[in-house]
Amino acid sequence: MFVLGVDPGLSRCGYCVLASDGRTSKPVALGVLRTSPSEPTPRRLAELMGDVGALLGEYSPDAVAIERVLFQVNVRTAMSVGQAAGVVMAQAASRGVEVAEYSPNEVKGAVAGFGAADKAQVQRMVQLLLELPAPPSPADAADAAAVALAHVAVSGGSIPGRVLASGSGTNR
């Protein structure tokens, strides 16, 4: 199974493509898609749409897992994150790829064992679970990997020593 995990954002959109056999998961691609804040929002969204389309075309994931935005203090930031998430979901849906959303607490619980884990703990656990030489950086890439790992756990794959709590999961 290939899963594309996404930590949505307009300036920085983290992504991770995981290959999983249900027992182990290995990163195939990990990074951040960037757009320039000096460009108009529609152009940035179009650029993000093209970049996400390229990832979907290159890796043909079985599912796209995306972190759901539940709360943002800055309304402007929340709007741009929501727009970026919409672009990712629309690109996946237009290709017939399953889309699953996870709350930050569900992701942290799946990867670090509790929903209040901080960024450093999530990065460290992603490093351990994916047997990476160092924690993924920037945090957007680590968050995308954590989202992908959460989806693998929910969809019947496994994360060593981690299980999502009953009742958590996806919005389909």
* Cα R_g (the chain), whole angstroms: 15
66, 85 contact by CB (below 8 A): yes
- 7, 51, 101, 106: which one is catalytic? 7
140 a catalytic residue: yes
Separation between Cα atoms, residue 2 and residue 19, nearest integer Å: 5
Residue 67 falls in the annotated catalytic set = yes
What CA–CA distance (Å, rounded) separates 152 from 16?
12
Q: Clarify whether 7 is annotated catalytic.
A: yes
Q: Among the options 101, 106, 140, 143, which is catalytic?
A: 140
DSSP state string for 49-86: HHHHHHHHHHH--SEEEEEPP---SSHHHHHHHHHHHH
Q: Which of 67, 101, 106, 143 is catalytic?
A: 67
What residues are annotated to the active site? 7, 67, 140
